[in-house]
Chain A
Amino acid sequence: MNSLSLSFELAGCVAAILLIIGMPVAYWLAFSNWRGKFLLESVVALPLVLPPTVLGFYALLAMGPRGPLGKLWIALSGHGLAFTFTGLVLASAVYSFPFAVQPLMVSFEAVDRKLLDASALLGAGKWRTFQRIILPLSLPGVVTALVLSFAHTLGEFGVVLMVGGNLAGVTRTVSIDIYDHVQSLEYGEANHLALLLLAIAFAVLCLVYAVNRRVWAPAWTRWSAK
């Protein structure tokens, strides 16, 4: 498997997992009245400011044969986590977590509370209100969360290097491949891949901003959708 399709597979897995985990966390952050909420917010945002090597280092320790995660995984599956694709997915998910949670939380919070009250008064429980009101009105946030966590995972380097190493077809992602090419003075190949990542990053950001500016949204959401 070449490094590009490996990166895409990794980014796809991480984006899907983060959407599922991110929603309840974002919902809780958006609607809980607990005063200690800022604690969880800080934990979620931690990967934004932490050097990837720090995160990767601790992830590696946790996943190693003597780390808690590693031991658990060995007991369950019989082999280790570090330097495997699964380990990579786990560490990447942690690293990209804020990119999924923040847009979801912001768009959940932006839903008019009166709509939620109205839904409750019409007999809808929390789950139905989420499905029928919050989620449809937060679609731009969902798209943003998916796309950003995908793109962020696609471009990561430090965490992958620490946790995954550089095993061709298993953990060698595009960004590491580029590094390899540069190390071996293969600037042509490096440029090839680098340009590709640049193009993807640009396309992804265009998509995010267009969705949030509602360029393709149906007419009724554009004018006075309050």
Chain B
Amino acid sequence: MSRLELRHVRKAFGGLDVLADISLSVGASEFVSILGPSGAGKSTLFQLLTGAEHGEGEMLFDGAPLDDHGRHFAFMPQCDALMPWRRILNNATLGLEVQGIRRKAARARVAPLFAEFGLAGFERHFPAQLSGGMRQRAALLRTVVQERDMLLLDEPFGALDALTRTAMQRWLEQMWRHHRWTALLITHDVREAVFLSDRIYVLSARPARIVREIKVPLPRPRSLGGDAARQASALEAEILDIILNPNPPKGHDHD
């Protein structure tokens, strides 16, 4: 049973087609990635989902049309978007405060999660005092405590250095196995998509359409060595080939 379903979604900005024809679905407790070149309109898709923009086509959640956008999604933007003037604890409670939960109650709900997110002892710090990886974990903490139906992650590790990014991907995979969030990840990092996802939608360059849907059959926990890693490499090579040699476009090639 799919939770989020998009049918033939289109979006144009002033005559410029950004999203040509997007149909996709995300099942319950499924981790799905949207993989595409930079500037393909991946972030536009999230703007449609969060209600910042409006497009054509059908967007359904649990079979019903999306109307009250805030209700279903917890959104994590590209940069960490932590408020520099709030301490980490108060950044983490932001979503709950907006929902109208009292500060004290919100803090009580967030505080036990700090250890799991590797942030224990940093509750009273300001974002500027944290490393890039810690800031990103704090941003994810702020996202998941909202307890929405689904996470929207927009290139969450794009601004990190390569080593930190790999560490964060492993950490996120482990966290996901534990919590089984329903998640939609936007990325242009092929390895990241393969490492984290159950399924990957490959987007074309603008105007974006879905070139291919790829299942990732690798066992969890995902590892960086052994047989599974070789399989992953083969899959990564295949995806890179699809992205870098797009002609002839195959249209909808659901397997």
A and B found bound together: no
